[in-house]
Amino acid sequence: MDRPESVASNIYETPNGTRYWTPTAPPGFKPYVKARFSTIAQAIAMYEEYAQLAGFGIRLGTSQQK
């Protein structure tokens, strides 16, 4: 799939004045609920590409719960 050069975002404001944005990315690159991947590496690669196209970064981390 061809990659677009740049991606815009939509900026919204709630009634109480809080601003938030949602990235505008091509449909083929948007994550969706219940997406399935064969490997964790494929999932990470998809989110890294989506983040780059949408104009933000991601980082991997771990946490332990007691």
Residue 54 DSSP one-character state: H
Looking at residue 32, what is its pLDDT?
84
- Domain range for residue 14? 9-54
**20 or 61, greater pLDDT:** 20
pLDDT > 60? residue 4: no
Flag whether 60 is in a domain: no
| Cα(25)–Cα(37) distance, integer angstroms | 20
Flag whether 13 is in a domain: yes
Q: Per-residue pLDDT averaged across 39-56, rounded?
A: 88
Flag whether 28 is in a domain: yes
pLDDT > 60? residue 5: no
Number of folded domains that form the chain: 1
Backbone angles phi, psi at 2, to 5 degrees: -70, 145
Flag whether 14 is in a domain: yes
Flag whether 65 is in a domain: no
Residue 17 DSSP one-character state: S
Binned at pLDDT 50, 70 and 90, residue 39 comes out as very high
**Which residue's entry shows tokens 């933000």?**
56
**Which residue's entry shows tokens 């890294």?**
48
